[in-house]
Amino acid sequence: MMQEKRPLVEALEQFHKKKSISFHVPGHKHGLLSNLPQLISNSMQYDLTELDGLDDYHHPKEAIKEAEELLTRLYNTDDSFFLVNGTTIGNIAMIYATCQYGEQIIVQRNAHKSIFHAIELVGAEPIYVSPIWDEHSKTASYVPLEVIEEAIQQYPFAKAVVLTYPNYYGVCSRDLEEIINLCHSLEMPVLVDEAHGAHFQSHKEFPKSALLYGADVVVQSAHKTLPSLTMGSYIHIRSHLIESKRVNKYLRMLQSSSPSYLILASLDDARSYVERYSPMDYKQLLDRREVFIDALETIPLIEVVQVDDPLKLLIRVEKYSGFQVQQAFEKQNIYVELADIYQVLLILPLLKVEHEFPFAEIRKRMKYAVEDLKKETPEYTSSTLYMQQKNISTLQMHLELVNEKQGEWIPYARSIGRIAKGMIVPYPPGIPLLLPGEKITVPILTELEVWIEKGASFQGEHQLEEKLIYVVEE
């Protein structure tokens, strides 16, 4: 059957059977020279390069081409491609393919940092649109239709709209289809970072993919919710406004010329997994999930919050911050996807009927974790700390000028009114709290101080341990 085919996996298996001798890269020579643990070094026998029978990643004609054609057929697109450099590279490629230096692009303010990096690399001018606060999940969620309408009215020459769907916490936009229809009526493409939605195609009861709403380019992290290796992603193009070959041109420029065949094979396998996911698999998943939630809710102090995506669960423990809950869980060897001020996020596995998962053991460990947590001083913050920004905003200083100017480190307590030169990103989720070129305001600084106080980790240019922030020199 078509869905049983895994062309790239099969090509690797056939090559492995040859017992070939390697006088080619990579230098570990099928794992022979590796001192890694045996379980890892064994897999290196499949860590090959573009040899006869294994196709050419950047100009595929055989197994990779066939595997990507199956992906294209599954997601019903013009073209779909495997990505070995993660959704980050797909986000960068789709923006390069859409706008040029100096052009305006409307972008969701709580996008992933890779979106902002792409805009900076291209030299485009970002027009930020702010999402609404979702009190149920306590997250910045999606940008409403009326804000997009207003942004387009103010900036009618913007080249595209860039959205995130769903957000990291599994909250989906209620206005996505209307936004896409509006943009298309104006011949404006919509680009969607759907990193957390690769599994939506598995069953009709999952939220719809942005592709089904008509988005022009959609990038998905197969490694987040499908059985792909880390860095494995998909990019899908279905558009009369953006040519697939233009997107692919930038993929060839930006991605490694030495792709990981382990990642490629796992993407082929993940595609097959989606295609073979049955209604019975989905029913069994939901049944087991419901039993798990019911069991967790019998633990005193625990609150389980469900969102649009059934694979996402938020766990709150009364009076305690998400960072405290995360630490308590880790003492029981339970590692969550992320913690924030309010809660922790669990990403459930996309189980099939034949899979086992230790839900009962997890519930027992979480109960122990909550008992230990009671010994600590609660650090819960009840107030909403979401930055109250304008619906539509632009940078106070263009990125090109920010990069030209000198920077200086100053105490962040004295930074209000200054222009940021470095990005500050609580990670995860990887959504920038502060972007280069933005003016530092009281709400931004207040939220930063709370993230620091609660023990968040940060990426970007900062010296927050010394209470310093990087700003444009005056």
Q: Are 70 and 218 part of one and the same domain?
A: yes
pLDDT, greater one: 3 or 149: 149
Q: Per the domain annotation, does 385 fall within a domain? A: no
Give this prediction's pTM. Answer: 0.94
Q: Per the domain annotation, does 388 fall within a domain? A: no
Question: Tokens 């019975």 correspond to what residue?
Answer: 280
**CATH number of domain containing 415:** 3.90.100.10
Amino acid at 183: C
**CATH number of domain containing 292:** 3.90.1150.150
Q: 164 pLDDT exceeds 80?
A: yes
Q: Per the domain annotation, does 99 fall within a domain? A: yes
Q: Which residues contact 10 (CB under 8 A, 6 or more apart)?
A: 63
* pLDDT value at residue 389: 67
C-alpha span between 211 and 236 (Å, rounded): 8
Q: Are 246 and 340 part of one and the same domain?
A: no
**Tens-place pLDDT, residues 111-136:** 999 999 999 999 999 999 999 999 99
Instruction: Using the 3D structure, point to which of 216, 250, 276 is the last residue of a domain.
Output: 276
Q: Are 207 and 289 part of one and the same domain?
A: no
Amino acid at 311: L
Helix (H/G/I), strand (E/B), else coil: 108 = strand
* pLDDT value at residue 40: 95
Domain that includes residue 430, residue range: 395-472
* Domain count for the chain: 3
Q: Per the domain annotation, does 188 fall within a domain? A: yes
Q: Are 232 and 251 part of one and the same domain?
A: yes
Q: Per the domain annotation, does 382 fall within a domain? A: no
Q: Are 52 and 193 part of one and the same domain?
A: yes
**CATH number of domain containing 251:** 3.40.640.10
Looking at the chain, the whole-number percentage of residues with pLDDT higher than 70 is 98
Instruction: Using the 3D structure, point to which of 225, 246, 276 is the last residue of a domain.
Output: 276
Q: Are 417 and 366 part of one and the same domain?
A: no
Tokens at 113, concatenated: 């940092």
Q: How confident is the model at residue 413 (pLDDT cuts 50, 70, 90)?
A: very high
* pLDDT value at residue 386: 60
Q: Per the domain annotation, does 386 fall within a domain? A: no
Q: How many CB atoms lie within 10 A of CB 248?
A: 17
* Helices of type H across 37-97: 38-43, 63-75, 86-96
Q: Are 49 and 62 part of one and the same domain?
A: yes
**Tens-place pLDDT, residues 246-265:** 999 999 999 999 999 999 99
Q: Per the domain annotation, does 379 fall within a domain? A: no
Contact 79, 246 (CB under 8 A): no
**Tens-place pLDDT, residues 267-325:** 999 999 999 999 999 999 999 999 999 999 999 999 999 999 999 999 999 999 999 99
C-alpha span between 274 and 226 (Å, rounded): 8
Q: 174 pLDDT exceeds 80?
A: yes
- Long-range contacts of residues 67-71, Cβ cutoff 8 Å, at least 24 apart: 67/6, 67/7, 67/8, 67/264, 67/267, 67/268, 67/271, 70/2, 70/5, 70/7, 70/271, 70/272, 70/275, 71/234, 71/267, 71/271
Q: Are 104 and 206 part of one and the same domain?
A: yes
* Average pLDDT score over residue span 360-381: 94
Burial tier of 297 (Cβ tally within 10 Å: 0-12, 13-18, 19+)? exposed
* pLDDT value at residue 1: 42
Q: Are 264 and 307 part of one and the same domain?
A: no
Tokens at 222, concatenated: 């197969």
Q: How confident is the model at residue 426 (pLDDT cuts 50, 70, 90)?
A: confident
Q: Are 362 and 413 part of one and the same domain?
A: no
Q: Are 317 and 413 part of one and the same domain?
A: no
Instruction: Using the 3D structure, point to which of 225, 241, 276 is the last residue of a domain.
Output: 276
Q: Per the domain annotation, does 1 fall within a domain? A: no
Q: Are 93 and 199 part of one and the same domain?
A: yes
pLDDT, greater one: 129 or 383: 129
**Tens-place pLDDT, residues 333-354:** 999 999 998 999 999 999 999 9
